[in-house]
Every structure is written in C-alpha cells, then in structure tokens.
A and B are shown apart, each in its own frame.
Chain A
C-alpha cells in the first residue's frame, strides 16, 4: 500500500526519522518516522548538514540526545512548514520554533550542570 509524503508532493518512497541517528549509528527514536520522497529526504539532511547536526559527537546522556533530537526535529518541522497551508503552516512553524527553544533551554541546563556539578552524567539513575 502506497503512502503519501508528509510534504504532500508525491508518493513517499523514503521513511525519514525526524530525530536521526546518534554518533554510534543508532536512531534516537526508531519509532518516530515521517514518510517523504527521496528529494525531500535529501533536503532535510542537507539542512541538518548546514546546521552541523548531521554528524554529532558522541553524547552519552539522555539530556544531550534529547537536545540533539529537538534541534533536528525543529529543522525538519521548519522545512515541513513550507509545504503546509493556512493554520497548519502556522502551527507546524510554531512547533519548529518551540523545538529550537526547548533545545536551547536544555543546552543552558547542560552548561549550568557542567559548571556546577561536572559529574552529573554519572549520577545514579541518570539515563
């Protein structure tokens, strides 16, 4: 059964993971999938390359993986918003901007933790 691309342009022939892979090649969220065409898939990955998100450094903690995933999701949603119409475009664009804000908030938390509690990644129970 064919699936329409999320961008609404054509039949999807790619299954894009909007949060991508980590430095070890594992998907950050294997279940989160967006159907799209080959050229849309390329465009999203080109966007990630421009933003320096395509090849991440190893990030052992969940907070850092979440921050990376949100940045990638924001860029993906921003691109998706260009193909949406009306209130959907506003909402998807707003969600993209919110994803970036949340990622920036997480980055600030991480910097504060690194300064105040450098061993926070090794705390018991830390994912």
Chain B
C-alpha cells in the first residue's frame, strides 16, 4: 500500500506528507430474511391503536394518597385517523364508599356532573358526562379496554405508576422477570381473613420500575397459582416516558404540552377536596393528556420506515435501535454471540 502511494506521489510530482486523511468503508453483514428464498421483505405494517382510554386520578392528601376522583376519556378512531381523535365518552369515577366517607364531596360531584353534562366533548348522539363508581369503571372500562382490547387499545396516562397505584385494590411483590416490582390486583375481593382472591379470568398487572422515568408493564398469567408470571403485553402508554424518549428531557405534563404545541397553563386549584374547580381541572388535565397523546403520535409518524409503538418506547435509544433494525443490522448480542436473532 505504501509503495503504491509513493509511486502515485512521484507520478504527480508532489511531496509526501506526514499525515494523510483517509476514509474507511465498512461492509456489514445484513440480517438474512426470515424465510429462505424470499427476496422481498414483508411490507411494514404500522401498528396504530384504534382505541385509547385516557385517565388521571385526583387524590386525598396524606401519606396514602387515596383515590378521590378519576377522570377519563375514551377514544375510538376511524381507520387512518391520528389515534386519540374521536372522543366517544368522558366522565368521572368515584370510590365506591365516597357517599359515606365524604357525603358533601359526593353531593358536589353529582351536582357538577348534572350541571355540566353537555360539556363533555364526544360524538353527537353519544351520552354526556358519565358518572360511575370506580368498581364499575374498573370492570366496564379498564378490564375491557386495558386487558380484553389490549391488541388495539392504548391506556394513556402521565406518570402511570401513581395513577395505577390509586385504583389498584391489592398489591404483592412480583416474581420472575418482574422481580423487584409489583403485582397489582384490580379485580377481586378479600375473604374474612383478609386474604386477597383475584376474580376469575381477571389477571394482575405486573409493573417493574427501572428508573424514575420508566416502568415495564405486563399482564400476569391467568393460571390460578401463578398470578405473578408475565403473560400478555400491557399496552400502557406513559406519556412521561414517551416524551422523555422523544426529547431526552424530563418534562411535566404542562411543559410537555407546551413543547408539543398544546398551549396549556394549569389552573390554580385547591387540592384535597372535591370542588367544581378541581373537577374542571381534572377534566382539563385529561383533555390535555389526550392532546399530548395525539401530538406525540404526529411526532412519531415523522419517523417513516420504522415501527415505534408508544407502549414500548422507553428511551431515545429505542428509536435508534428501531432504525438499526430497519437497516438490517444485527444487535451486538446477536452478532457476537449470547442471544439468537428473533
């Protein structure tokens, strides 16, 4: 190589230099197609959730921060629309014992819903602001849309672990891959001795926080003696995590909304008691959470050619890894041993 370079220098009549800028072209191994003999890659199918259940909780003050009221919105979108566009339901859920524990607050809640029934942003022909006990909401909304529709419905929250902890009725340490996390029970009851029994065909939710910004979720097994084993994907979209993955910043809901074009300033309300101001604030909070969800989807749609599922978007590296996979590059663990390609 050196001889040929020197010859070339002599030919053009230049003096050799001490440093020569060079470029290296690296040829990498392409990941082989899954099926032998197949020349074309399968067409990319962008997974767009068809439904979205957006919710937020307000709590009583104190160390346990028990649930005071839950505000939610349910979206079901036409094909091709940005997820979170068509709201079909909006409402409140309250703790089952609210009427006994806080009769004044319950009366204010009922009055607010009656006075603001038409305020709900939903399709025409759909009922106005809904009100139901949280046990009914867990069964008729959370179970159906979070678990039974887990292939097509996003559960959208901001700081999901806090909200999910408010509505869980039972917890236990998780096992297996989720060791170190929690196994949350939403459906079931305690017997006279205080032992928790899960409702039949209703799984636990396994949650493993890996840092303050990121939590891994999965539905537990339905096998009676193995409820803490991970089984099905939980499509929980924590916008706090997703926004941090897209921006590499730790933002509040308010500042994230502002960054993504949803101009919103949180109302200055008194927390800790049910009041019309707090209920208005709760509805607005969910409304802007849904707006942020749409904005995030619009942002993600700019990444063409790769599949980014919001419930699996944990960090900026997730997006980079998707691009590397789309380019056909093998992950180091696969390329250099230790793990097989999937």
Q: Does B164 contact A (CB under 8 A)?
A: no
A82 touching B125 in the complex, CB below 8 Å, given contacts A43-B76, A47-B76: no
Q: Does B58 contact A (CB under 8 A)?
A: no
A81 touching B127 in the complex, CB below 8 Å, given contacts A39-B79, A50-B74: no
On chain B, the residues within 8 Å of A7 by CB distance are: 78
Cross-chain contact A75 with B76 (CB below 8 angstroms): no
A93 touching B124 in the complex, CB below 8 Å, given contacts A47-B88, A50-B89, A82-B86: yes
A78 touching B76 in the complex, CB below 8 Å, given contacts A50-B88, A50-B89: no
Question: What per-residue 1/0 map shows which CB atoms of B66-79 lie under 8 Å from chain A?
Answer: 00000000101011
Q: Which of A43, A73, A77 contacts B78 (CB 8 A)?
A: A43
| Distance between A36 CB and nearest chain B CB, rounded to angstroms | 12
Most buried by A among B74, B76, B78, B124: B124
- State the interface size on chain B (CB cutoff 8 A): 12
On chain B, the residues within 8 Å of A81 by CB distance are: 123-125
Q: Which residues of A contact B (CB under 8 A)?
A: 7, 9, 39-40, 43, 46-47, 50-51, 73-79, 81-83, 93-94, 96-97, 99-100
Cross-chain contact A78 with B123 (CB below 8 angstroms): yes
Considering only CB atoms, which chain A residue lies closest to B80 in the complex?
A: A9
On chain A, the residues within 8 Å of B89 by CB distance are: 50
| Distance between B330 CB and nearest chain A CB, rounded to angstroms | 37
Considering only CB atoms, which chain A residue lies closest to B85 in the complex?
A: A82
Give complex CA distance A99, B127 in Å.
11
Q: Does B126 contact A (CB under 8 A)?
A: yes
Cross-chain contact B127 with A82 (CB below 8 angstroms): no
Q: Could you name 16 residue pairs across A and B whose Cβ atoms are closer than 8 Å?
A: A7-B78, A9-B79, A40-B78, A43-B78, A47-B76, A75-B125, A78-B126, A79-B123, A81-B123, A82-B78, A82-B86, A96-B123, A96-B124, A96-B125, A99-B125, A100-B124
A51 touching B123 in the complex, CB below 8 Å, given contacts A46-B76, A82-B86: no
On chain B, the residues within 8 Å of A77 by CB distance are: 124-125
Cross-chain contact A75 with B78 (CB below 8 angstroms): no
On chain A, the residues within 8 Å of B88 by CB distance are: 47, 50
On chain A, the residues within 8 Å of B76 by CB distance are: 43, 46-47, 50
Cross-chain contact B78 with A78 (CB below 8 angstroms): no
Considering only CB atoms, which chain A residue lies closest to B78 in the complex?
A: A82
Considering only CB atoms, which chain A residue lies closest to B126 in the complex?
A: A78
Cross-chain contact A78 with B127 (CB below 8 angstroms): no
Cross-chain contact B126 with A82 (CB below 8 angstroms): no
Q: Which of A43, A50, A74, A83 contacts B125 (CB 8 A)?
A: A74
On chain A, the residues within 8 Å of B125 by CB distance are: 73-79, 81, 93, 96-97, 99-100
Give complex CA distance A75, B88 in Å.
9
Considering only CB atoms, which chain A residue lies closest to B141 in the complex?
A: A50
